[in-house]
């Protein structure tokens, strides 16, 4: 089996996907924008061959690299990046080489455009937030009519995009008029505001859209606040085998599985985000209900796959490779489960406890510690501490200790 992995060098943890595929006997062929001499040794050890391109956005060069691999190794079975940035390019390369194991360009709208995703969520019987699409001043009156229906505030973000960059709240008409005073750089989606926290349904499915591994990540602090206000944060992974504290796990699990089917996801890792309401929104949903936010055809960002592994006592990398090669999950899913917490701190904030104090008090529970790369720091923070617990309340205590600020 020949698997072209686009950008296996970035993000840096992606060598683990390549290792797992290699362990399953897959010939993994990498195309990346980091010179061979600068990529991690574990990645070098896992790749059959590596094709360096300084600019992966040049489609003609990417196609040339893929055809080189095809001529040398034979038919290409998979072209994947597991990276939001390259999903559309992956699809174009698949079509050019007739690699039928993933999405083609004509299927990408429902994957990339937040407005188009809503029809799949609705087909799965899951509520979505009401919305309008806008491009500039000509849409102000339409948004005002929308606001009269759903109420203020509203929330705006690019219709195609990832993360919380370039997103903003619209508390009133005055702000709306300022924001839409001139044409926007791209189409934006404006949705009704939901007071809730993000809970994601994460996992891997087989070629028939049957989920073979599933878990959940919980993000109490809005990502937009973390990015726009430079906040520190915590989030946690909650396996389905353990009690939940914010949403009905059975209803959430069933909805997640329906969504995977509705999107027609096959042999992929998915990261599907929902808002769980913190309070009632009259005429729409009640506290504790969940509404669909967006569906991502990739693993959760940052080092979240590692957090998933700590919580579930498995390797999601190996499960992915199982599915790619055998269309099933061969890992032992009966191992002990934990609440795994990811807590981050920011360099510009003053904390009550030193790293040494954290290690001394919580060292028995720590799974990982390090510094996020600069390109991740805006959304994730600087220093990170990952720990796992059988008792959820201990996880909350760990977070309080790590992020406690110095008193003035």
> Residue 397: its pLDDT value, please?
98
Residue 247 has pLDDT above 90, yes or no: yes
Residue 138 has pLDDT above 90, yes or no: yes
Q: Which residue has the tokens 């006997």?
A: 25
Structural domain contains residue 221: yes
Assess whether 70 and 181 both reside in one domain: no
CATH number at residue 57: 3.40.50.20
Structural domain contains residue 111: no
Residue 20 has pLDDT above 60, yes or no: yes
- Token pair listed for 110: 């429902």
Assess whether 187 and 200 both reside in one domain: no
Instruction: Give the mean model confidence (pLDDT) for residues 12-19.
Output: 95
Report pLDDT digits (tens) over 342-389: 999 999 999 999 999 999 999 999 999 999 998 888 888 899 999 999
Q: Which of 9-13, 20-24, 330-334 has the lowest mean pLDDT?
A: 9-13
Q: Which domain holds residue 17?
A: 2-106
CATH number at residue 141: 3.30.1490.20
> Residue 12: its pLDDT value, please?
87
Instruction: Give the mean model confidence (pLDDT) for residues 156-163.
Output: 81
How confident is the prediction for the chain on average, in pLDDT? 95
Assess whether 257 and 284 both reside in one domain: yes
Assess whether 239 and 171 both reside in one domain: no
Report pLDDT digits (tens) over 279-332: 999 889 999 999 999 999 999 988 999 999 999 999 999 999 999 999 999 999
The kind and range of the H/E element at 214 are strand 211-219
> Residue 164: its pLDDT value, please?
52
Instruction: Give the mean model confidence (pLDDT) for residues 267-278.
Output: 96
The CA–CA distances, whole Å, from 88 to 58, 112, 300, 318 equal 13, 8, 18, 25
- What residues form DSSP beta bridges with 154? 170, 192
> Residue 271: its pLDDT value, please?
97
Assess whether 318 and 287 both reside in one domain: yes
Assess whether 50 and 144 both reside in one domain: no
Given a contact cutoff of 8 angstroms between Cβ atoms, the answer to whether 201 and 256 are in contact is yes
Assess whether 335 and 301 both reside in one domain: yes
Assess whether 319 and 398 both reside in one domain: yes
Q: Which of 36-45, 294-303, 328-337 has the lowest mean pLDDT?
A: 294-303
CATH number at residue 271: 3.30.470.20
The SS3 assignment for 78 reads: strand
Assess whether 309 and 366 both reside in one domain: yes
Assess whether 143 and 100 both reside in one domain: no
Dihedral of CA 311/315/319/324: which sign? Answer: positive
Separation between Cα atoms, residue 380 and residue 374, nearest integer Å: 10
> Looking at 192, 209, 226, which one is the last position of a domain?
192
Residue 163 has pLDDT above 60, yes or no: no
Residue 165 has pLDDT above 80, yes or no: no
Assess whether 168 and 301 both reside in one domain: no
Q: Which residue has the tokens 């959940």?
A: 216
Residue 174 has pLDDT above 60, yes or no: yes
Structural domain contains residue 334: yes
The CA–CA distances, whole Å, from 344 to 41, 238, 302 equal 28, 18, 12
Assess whether 242 and 259 both reside in one domain: yes
What total of structural domains would you count in the chain?
3
Instruction: Give the mean model confidence (pLDDT) for residues 72-82.
Output: 97
pLDDT band at 227 (very low <50, low <70, confident <90, very high): low
């Amino acid at each position: 089996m020949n698997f072209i992995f686009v950008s296996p060098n970035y993000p840096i943890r992606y060598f683990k996907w390549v290792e797992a595929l290699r362990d399953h006997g897959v010939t993994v062929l990498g195309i990346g924008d980091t010179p061979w001499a600068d990529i991690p040794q574990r990645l070098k050890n896992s790749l059959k061959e590596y094709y360096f391109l300084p600019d992966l956005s040049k489609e003609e060069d990417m196609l040339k690299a893929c055809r080189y691999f095809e001529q040398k190794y034979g038919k290409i079975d998979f072209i994947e990046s597991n990276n939001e940035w390259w999903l559309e390019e992956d699809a174009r390369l698949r079509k050019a080489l007739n690699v039928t194991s993933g999405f083609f360009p004509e299927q990408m709208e429902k994957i990339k455009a937040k407005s188009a995703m809503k029809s799949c969520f609705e087909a799965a019987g899951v509520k979505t937030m009401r919305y309008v699409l806008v491009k500039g001043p000509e849409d102000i009156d339409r948004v005002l009519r929308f606001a009269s229906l759903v109420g203020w505030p509203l929330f705006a973000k690019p219709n195609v995009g990832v993360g919380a960059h370039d997103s903003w709240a619209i508390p009133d008409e005055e702000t709306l008029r300022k924001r839409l005073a001139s044409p926007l750089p791209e189409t934006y989606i404006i949705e009704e505001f939901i007071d809730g926290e993000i809970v994601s349904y994460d996992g891997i499915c087989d070629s028939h859209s049957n989920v073979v591994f599933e878990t959940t990540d919980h993000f109490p602090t809005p990502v937009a606040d973390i990015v726009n206000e430079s906040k520190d944060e915590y989030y946690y992974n909650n396996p389905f085998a353990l009690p939940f504290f914010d949403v009905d796990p059975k209803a959430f699990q069933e909805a997640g599985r329906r969504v995977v089917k509705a999107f027609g996801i096959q042999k992929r890792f998915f990261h599907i985000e929902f808002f769980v309401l913190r309070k009632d929104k009259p005429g729409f949903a009640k506290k504790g209900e969940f509404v669909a936010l967006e569906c991502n055809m990739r693993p959760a960002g940052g080092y979240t796959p590692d957090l998933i592994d700590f919580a579930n006592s498995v390797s999601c990398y190996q499960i992915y490779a199982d599915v790619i090669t055998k269309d099933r999950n061969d890992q032992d899913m009966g191992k002990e489960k934990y609440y795994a917490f990811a807590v981050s701190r920011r360099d510009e904030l003053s904390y009550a406890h030193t790293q040494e104090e954290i290690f001394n008090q919580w060292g028995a529970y720590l799974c990982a510690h390090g510094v996020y790369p600069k390109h991740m720091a805006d959304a994730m923070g600087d220093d990170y501490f990952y720990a796992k617990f059988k008792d959820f309340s201990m996880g909350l205590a760990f977070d309080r200790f790590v992020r406690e600020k110095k008193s003035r």
